Structure formats: C-alpha cells, structure tokens
A and B are shown apart, each in its own frame.
Chain A
C-alpha cells in the first residue's frame, strides 16, 4: 500500500493483530480482531484501542473510543494491511466490517472509495445492505451507497 502504516504483530493464527498508533498526543495500543460470524467462511473485522480490563480479567478492544489522533489514515491503512495478511493466509474467508457508528461506517466507505482501484486489484468489494426481513445482502460497492457495512472477498488467482 502507498499509505504509511504501522508495524504489526500478529498471533500465530493471524486472527489478532496489534500495533501502536503514534502521534504527538502519545502512543496508543491498537488491536484488530477477526472473529468468525456463524461459520468459518465469514469473519468480522473489529478494531480499536486494546487494553487489559481487570474487571473482566481479559483483553478488550474499545471500538467506540474516539482517539482523535492525527494519524487516522495511518491507522486505517494498518487495519487494511491486516486484511491483506488475513486473507492471504485464509483466501477463502471473507471479511465483514462496519463502523460502530454510522459516521464511522461512512468514513470507511470514503476510505474504500479513495483507494478503490488499488483495493480492487486484490479484493472483490461489496456493500452490505439489509433486505426487508433484515437479512444481509451483498451488492457491488458503490461510492454513494448507504451501506450497513462492507464485505471483502479475496480474488482467487
């Protein structure tokens, strides 16, 4: 990718990634997790600030926090890089993602739109929309689409 991004660490299954966002405000540990949705072929991508919660006695990704750091593009590029790595490891797995708010979902749509040409070299990109019964359908990505979320599927060589 042609956007600066951060060094990543991953677990041996490539389902959890960690990196450190860094800007003048300080360093923030970020986590990216790929979680199976209903089956082993569709995974949810979730990311945010990674921390240990002593009450829950486990690690938590705060996907609601607004870090307000000046490195948003680098963070998003790092998350995108993890998607390249995850789907390279598991080419038959598709990835679903949406923002934790509508504003964030629109931000992701904008980021996809700006980088659509490059992303399309590797991925089939779909918008996720709900039908009248609330089921999720995949339709071709449209920069103006009002999507519930997004689905990417690696193009098989």
Chain B
C-alpha cells in the first residue's frame, strides 16, 4: 500500500499548458483519506443554506 506512490511514473515532471490527465485504478486502493487539519470535520458540522442565485 505505502509503495503505491513510489512505483508511479510521471510522464513529464514539468508544468505545462497541455498537461495530461490519466485514470489510474491503482489510486482506487487509497480509501478514507485523512487530512492533517480538522477542516473537513469542521465543514461537515456546518449547515449549508445554498440558493445558487
């Protein structure tokens, strides 16, 4: 599991305008990702009253 990232190759390491997006099923192995901050917990406790107007 922890070698998931190390085994990955990136086609081009430089930032560029025409960058690519690749679907990699290996990333599906990462479940229930945690964050260092408690931001998501904080946000989950909020009430959202959204109107999108």
Contacts and interface: CB of A to CB of B under 8 A. Distances in A.
A87 interface: no
Nearest to B36: A62
Contacts, number: 160
A130 to B, nearest CB: 8
A18 B27 contact: yes
A133 B1 CA distance: 43
Interface in A49-104: 50-54, 56, 58-65, 71, 74, 77-78, 81, 85, 94, 96, 98, 100
B39 A10 contact: no
Interface in A1-20: 1-14, 16, 18-20
A85 B23 CA distance: 11
Nearest to B1: A52
A136 B43 CA distance: 10
Size category of the A interface is 35 or more
Interface residues of B, number: 41
Identify which of B1, B5, B50 gathers the most chain A CB atoms within 10 Å of its CB. Answer: B50
Contact of A135 (B5, B39, B48): B48
B24 A10 contact: yes
Contacts of A98: 39, 43
A61 B49 contact: no
A8 B27 CA distance: 12
Interface of B: 1-2, 4-5, 8, 10-17, 19-25, 27-28, 30-37, 39-40, 43-44, 46-52
Interface of A: 1-14, 16, 18-20, 22, 27, 29, 31, 33, 35, 37-38, 42, 44, 46, 48, 50-54, 56, 58-65, 71, 74, 77-78, 81, 85, 94, 96, 98, 100, 124, 126, 131, 133-138, 149, 151, 153
Given A12-B27, A13-B28, A78-B19, 12 more contacts: A5-B15, A7-B21, A10-B22, A12-B25, A22-B14, A53-B34, A71-B15, A85-B21, A98-B43, A126-B50, A136-B46, A151-B50
